[in-house]
Amino acid sequence: MSRVSMNTARSAKLGWLVAAALGLLSAPAQAEFGRLLATGGLTNIEGAGGGGIVPWATLASYADQQQWGATLAFNVADVDDYQLQVGAATVTYDNRWEFSYARQNFELKQLGGELKQSIYGLKYRLAGDVIYGAMPQVSIGLQHKRSGDFSLPQALGAASANGTDLYVSATKAWLDGPWHRTWLANLTVRGTRANELGLLGFGGDLQNNYQWVAEASVAMFVNRHWVVGMEYRQKPDNLSFAKEQDWYDVFVGWFPSKRVAVALAYTDLDAIAGAAGQTGVYGSLQISF
């Protein structure tokens, strides 16, 4: 498929997504009766409710007990040699279950071509509430990832085209934290075999087993609508052809209403597949129903 037709297909898909979102915007808002503003967070690059690069224990949307909710999101990370585009949708029920689907396109700007991946996610809130009570909200989740085309990952030494990450997350907000601001902290521990999220397959010549990695986010709400924070994501290193690096970002989030959430970040993805110094911007738009 040529580059032009690929881009046309993508913009057609995006156009459809935007049209659907605009149609739903005029529907009555379940989001207006549920949880508090910003407690749904944003949608991470794997389609899970969370921050940008880290899934959180919070469930996407504002659905509370016995309510249904949904979100649509579009994320872009544009660094020196690559661009990651993510379209994602979630459905949540009862502030207990989160079902998600994400489609990742990883464009190789220098080499040409792109890597694709589909991610089917499931999250279950075990206990606690992010706002109320002393204990943090704790959720477990899985992300089943399926490569679009395994030929390049395989050539680079990846063992499998598909894989499943398992994680447990704890998220807690303090309404009256330091400087009388609302703070949020998240810690996620993930069992994974994924190379570069799974875009470069799963397992490899160096290491083929599940490894535990840690991911963390800290954020401060300047007021009820604006939040600043940072994130860290540890990653495995399974392939001998290039060392895989941990990721960082510093973000600003904006929650103008329960309908819309926006984030803008400076992101440091370090070296990816041997191309060093991958820094750039990350943008995220989420619409909740």
- Scanning 62-70, 106-114, 193-201, 264-272 for contacts with other proteins by CB under 8 A, the matching segment is 62-70
| Footprint of other proteins on 217-256 (CB under 8 A) | 222-224
**Amino acid identity of 102?**
A
SS3 28: coil
Q: How far is CA 176 from CA 139, 155, 258, in A?
A: 24, 52, 21
| Angular region, 81: left φ>0, alpha ψ -120 to 50, beta rest | alpha
Q: Does 36 bind other proteins (CB under 8 A)?
A: yes
Among 16, 33, 212, 254, binds other proteins (CB under 8 A): 33
Q: Could you tell me the smallest distance in angstroms from the CB atom of residue 89 to other proteins? A: 23
Any alpha helices (H) in the chain, and if so which ranges? Answer: 3-25, 151-155
Tokens of residue 44, six digits: 């991470």
Q: Could you tell me the smallest distance in angstroms from the CB atom of residue 31 to other proteins? A: 11
CA distance 157 to 239: 6
Identify which of residues 37 and 228 has a Cβ nearer to other proteins in the complex.
37
- Scanning 29-37, 112-120, 208-216, 277-285 for contacts with other proteins by CB under 8 A, the matching segment is 29-37
Identify which of residues 121 and 229 has a Cβ nearer to other proteins in the complex.
229
Q: Does 65 bind other proteins (CB under 8 A)?
A: yes
Count of positions on this chain that bind other proteins (CB under 8 A) = 24
Among 6, 10, 64, 241, binds other proteins (CB under 8 A): 64
Identify which of residues 33 and 254 has a Cβ nearer to other proteins in the complex.
33
Helix and strand numbers, DSSP H then E, in the chain: 2, 14
Among 75, 92, 95, 105, binds other proteins (CB under 8 A): 95
SS3 174: strand
CA distance 59 to 69: 10
The answer to whether 101 touches 119, Cβ cutoff 8 Å, is yes
For binding to other proteins (CB under 8 A), which residues are involved?
Answer: 33-37, 64-67, 95, 131-133, 174-177, 179-182, 222-224
